[in-house]
Amino acid sequence: MLKRIVTIQDISCFGKCSSTVALPLISAMGVETAVIPTAVLSTHTGGFTGYTFRDLTTDIPQIAEHWKNLNLHFDGIYTGYLGSKQQTQIVADFFDNFRKKDTTIIVDPVMGDGGKLYAGFTPDFAKEMQKICKKADVIVPNLTEMSLLLDVPYPETYNKEDIHRYLTQLTDLGCRIAVITGIRDGNLHGAIAYDKHSGKFYEAYREHIPEQMHGTGDVFASVLSGALIRGASIEQAITIAVNFTTDTIIATVDDLHHLPHDIAPWYGVEFEACMDKLVAYVQGISKASH
């Protein structure tokens, strides 16, 4: 029987991110994927201007109530972009209503990148995001989101000891596992995780690709979520997520000079060209579990 996950985040109708990344990637990993959209945007907000935004806050409780009446069960709940403070409370209530003993909750606390908040967010939103991070099993911030959650300055430079300290402090929010993405180590780029139950840190790296691509955080969090629900350890999951995210960036960079002039890197990575690699990574989970 297939494992089942629900992802709660926006739908950007054009530009590959959020639900339009999570749904195909997690489905390709062999996990049934349901969606609850938090908002509908004509495009994502990175690089585009003049986009439309439809807030779906009032729809979420109605969807949840219907699902409760259907007695639906989810092996995983994975949240991404939340468009308002009110949505964080609604999502916290969703966790309480749908969490079972075997449910894994993964929170990608989407708020910003590169030391800057995304459009529409204010610094005090981090306090609301802390509330759902407290209820999560796994949280997946980048360095910007880490600094907002911990209320510390954005680290322009850092060493491994700094990251270990940040990870420990993130688990003090209430989650069991914290993963910080976008970690540079010389010519390498990856993620570091900390499991407070085991007290161990885990790292995964690939070669650093200097081009900036939109939606890579969503790719990482989606693949991490799918891997965890498929039974991967956190060490396996971050390795798969780092490898696949890098694969998609390389595929996109290799294709950029062939693309028409009206296609830009911020449209999103070409994950479609790498699906065979994702399927192979998932098969590796099954082998490792035996």
Is residue 21 a contact partner of residue 218, using CB atoms and an 8 Å limit?
yes
pLDDT score, position 290: 44
CA dist 87 and 128 (Å) reads 9
Q: Which residues of the chain have a pLDDT value below 50?
A: 290
pLDDT score, position 122: 86
Amino acid at 81: Y
* pLDDT one-digit tens code per residue, 21-44: 999 999 999 999 999 999 999 988
* pLDDT one-digit tens code per residue, 219-251: 999 999 999 999 999 999 999 999 999 999 999
pLDDT score, position 121: 85
Is residue 266 a contact partner of residue 47, using CB atoms and an 8 Å limit?
yes
Using DSSP's 3-state secondary structure scheme, residue 273 falls into helix
